[in-house]
């Protein structure tokens, strides 16, 4: 079995850490097969595609590796729990994206929250970009910044109008990319849930419904102390 390879980067003006782990899961082909057999469906209104729970076995397999990163990089030393882990297959065409899906987002404002994107797709499906909000300079949105960020974003939209349909493919009038992680099969990136980010998806590509051929990931959301 290939041992995981771990890289830590600090990004942007705020120097937030992100952790990139190659060879993240011990049996990634099995995970693709599980996703192909799972009842993928729309879950909520934010993710541009279909999802299904990845299951407790997945969390148990990758948990020790994630716990090490949570402790050494993010400073969480007491508890770590997977709130949910979801097979996620991007399927929404660029022209059908809602406004929130056309903007960078955060996963949670609360302290002690981490997110993982685990790529189970080919490199050419695109990874993840991280962003700075231009008018505030914010790269992370915690509870102390949330109201100010929402007010500033609303002002941006009134001034500049909504972004054109499509996935974000670089700088915009409102957001500036600060870092990017390329997709690679069985690579994961771990980051604080308050970090502004968005999937890096080529708007010219069709998005197949077959998990073995499309942009399949596992998105995990964790609580730590």
As a whole number of angstroms, the distance between CA 84 and CA 76 comes to 18
Confidence of residue 44 (pLDDT cuts 50, 70, 90): confident
Confidence of residue 199 (pLDDT cuts 50, 70, 90): very high
pLDDT at 28: 98
CB atoms within 10 A of CB 105: 14
Is residue 193 predicted with pLDDT exceeding 80?
yes
Average pLDDT over residues 55-59: 95
- Strands annotated E in 40-174: 49-53, 80-90, 113-119, 128-133
Share of the chain above pLDDT 70, in %: 100
CB atoms within 10 A of CB 196: 23
Is residue 19 predicted with pLDDT exceeding 80?
yes
Average pLDDT over residues 121-137: 96
Nearest to 82 by CA among 224, 176, 219, 222: 222
Nearest to 127 by CA among 47, 205, 193, 181: 181
- Helix spans in the chain (H): 28-37, 56-72, 146-160
Contact 76, 225 (CB under 8 A): yes
Average pLDDT over residues 94-111: 97
Write the burial class of residue 124 (CB in 10 Å: 0-12 exposed, 13-18 middle, 19+ buried): exposed
Those residues with Cβ within 8 angstroms of residue 72's Cβ, 6 or more apart along the chain or in another chain: none
As a whole number of angstroms, the distance between CA 90 and CA 140 comes to 24
Confidence of residue 2 (pLDDT cuts 50, 70, 90): confident
Is residue 161 predicted with pLDDT exceeding 80?
yes
Is residue 190 predicted with pLDDT exceeding 80?
yes
Rg of the chain in Å (alpha carbons): 17
Contact 206, 141 (CB under 8 A): no
Contact 5, 129 (CB under 8 A): no
| Mean pLDDT, the chain, integer | 96
As a whole number of angstroms, the distance between CA 75 and CA 71 comes to 5
């Amino acid at each position: 079995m290939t041992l995981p390879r771990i890289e830590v980067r600090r990004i942007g003006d705020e120097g937030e850490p992100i952790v990139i782990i190659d060879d993240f899961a011990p049996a990634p082909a099995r995970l693709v097969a599980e996703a192909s057999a799972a009842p993928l469906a729309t879950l909520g209104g934010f993710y541009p595609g279909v999802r299904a729970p990845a299951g407790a076995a997945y969390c148990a397999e990758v948990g020790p590796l994630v716990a090490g990163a949570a402790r050494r990089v993010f400073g969480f030393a007491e508890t770590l729990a997977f709130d949910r882990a979801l097979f996620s297959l991007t399927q929404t065409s660029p022209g059908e994206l809602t406004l929130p899906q056309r903007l960078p987002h955060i996963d949670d404002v609360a302290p002690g929250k981490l997110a993982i994107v685990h790529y189970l797709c080919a490199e050419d499906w695109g990874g993840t970009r991280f962003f700075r909000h231009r008018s505030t300079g914010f790269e992370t949105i915690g509870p102390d910044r949330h109201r100010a960020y929402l007010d500033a974003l609303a002002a941006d939209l009134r001034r500049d109008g909504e972004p054109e349909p499509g996935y974000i493919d670089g700088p915009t009038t409102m957001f500036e990319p600060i870092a990017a992680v390329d997709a690679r099969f069985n690579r994961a990136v771990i980051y604080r849930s308050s970090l502004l980010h968005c999937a890096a998806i080529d708007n010219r590509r069709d998005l197949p419904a077959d998990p073995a051929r499309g942009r399949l990931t596992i998105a995990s959301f964790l609580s730590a102390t």
